[in-house]
Copies of this chain bind each other. A is one copy, B any other.
Amino acid sequence: MPRCINVTLEYDGTDFKGWQVQSGAPAGEDDTTAVRTVQGVVERALRVVTGRPIRIAGASRTDTGVHALGQAASFLLPDDVALPTADICLALNAHMEKDVATRRAEDAALGFHAQRDATGKVYSYSMICGRERSAVLRRTHWHVRFGLQIEPMRRAAAALIGVHDFTSFATRLAEAQAQRAEEGKAALETVREVRRVELHADPDYPGRIVMRLEGSGFLYQMVRTIAGSLVDVGRGFRPPEWLAEALAAKDRRQAGPTAPAHGLCLERVLY
């Protein structure tokens, strides 16, 4: 019997062209020097460790520059691969560059799929506000060049909680729907549940604000568009009530800008 494994991955997205293998090459044979993706690097390490081409399924196809503290990815290990689950992390970590690491490996039921079986995800979006940039946090924080008022941001964010159609916060939705129609697939569901939105001002680092968002799932660039919209509120460019109106409009043009990728981090996938 093959074994189904679910691994928890951490990566610094700075030097990756996102999660997804783009070459169309077979698993483990992706040319990671040309277009370096997280999936490509992990599959290459899996190939070295097991001697087999093994395709992995990530819970989230993170974009170029996006980080992860808790990405999940599942794969099938053929039954003749003698690799104890407890050794998978060390084995993979020995064959991957320092900017990606396996933090946990667990046995899962046959048929488990890291993306389809996820019941929710937690993302963070981190920023530094104020004129002066940061050196230590530059890879993981958006530098917003003006001061932000966090209380209006919190009031605005409360409107997101619950089950809503998040069309206003999705990028390239029309293209995605057109492509699905062409492929004969059902239209993409745009209703999602946001369970938690927190805005935390770091008392130890003046100007540092971290947004944490938990939801059933997220549309393309939804977390980044929420972050960009909340920054518009925090700088006083929009009143807090505006966010609820933007949400109700179901129109991407009514929401704020999409915040840059490098402030985003996939913190955890829930099962």
Closest to A265 in B: B136
The reply to whether the CB of A101 lies closer than 8 angstroms to some CB of chain B is yes
Task: Write out the residue numbers on chain B whose beta carbons fall within 8 Å of the beta carbon of A10.
Answer: 134-136
A271 within 8 A of B: no
Q: Is A44 an interface residue (CB 8 A)?
A: no
Q: State whether B99 touches A138 (Cβ < 8 A).
A: yes
B-chain residues with CB within 8 Å of residue A136 when the two chains form the complex: 10-12, 67-69, 140, 265
With A11-B136, A136-B12, A136-B69: A131-B99 Cβ-Cβ less than 8 Å = no
Rounded to whole angstroms, the CA-CA distance of A7 and B68 in the bound complex is 34
A57-92 interface mask toward B, CB cutoff 8 Å, 1 = contact, 0 = none?
Answer: 000000000011100000000000000000001100
Q: How far, in angstroms, from A133 to B93 measured CA to CA in the complex?
A: 8
Provide the A116-144 mask, 1 if CB < 8 A to any CB of B, else 0. Answer: 00000000000000011111101010000
Q: Is A172 an interface residue (CB 8 A)?
A: no
Instruction: Please give the count of copies of this chain that the complex contains.
Output: 2
Q: Cβ of B131 and Cβ of A89 under 8 Å apart?
A: yes
Query: Is A102 close to B, CB under 8 A?
Result: yes
Q: Is A47 interfacial (CB-CB < 8 Å)?
A: no
Closest-by-CB residue of B relative to A205 is B69
Q: How far is the CA of A265 from the CA of B135 in the complex (A)?
A: 13
Fill in one digit per residue for A98-113: 1 if any B CB lies within 8 Å of its CB, else 0: 1111111000000000
Check B89 against A135 for contact (C-beta < 8 Å): no
Q: Which residue of B99, B100, B102, B134 is within 8 Å of A101 (Cβ)? A: B134
Write out the residue numbers on chain B whose beta carbons fall within 8 Å of the beta carbon of A93: 132-133
Contact A135 to B98, CB < 8 A, known contacts A69-B205, A205-B69: yes
> Across the interface, which residues of B come within 8 angstroms of A68, CB to CB?
136
**How far is B145's CA from A93's CA once the two chains are assembled, in angstroms?**
13
- Contacts known (A104-B132, A132-B104); A138 close to B89, Cβ less than 8 A: no
A99 and B67 alpha carbons, distance in the complex (Å):
19
> Nearest residue in B to A133 (C-beta to C-beta)?
B101
Name the interface residues of A241-262: CB closer than 8 Å to any CB of B. Answer: none
Chain B residues with Cβ below 8 Å from A101 are: 132-135, 138
- If A69-B205, A205-B69 touch, does A90 touch B131 (CB 8 Å cutoff)? yes
> Residue of B at shortest CB range from A92?
B132
Interface residues of A in 1-59 (CB under 8 A from B): 10-12
* Cβ contact within 8 Å between A98 and B132: no
Given contacts A10-B135, A89-B131, A93-B133, 11 further A-B contacts (CB under 8 A): A11-B135, A12-B136, A69-B136, A90-B131, A98-B133, A99-B135, A100-B135, A101-B132, A101-B134, A101-B138, A136-B265
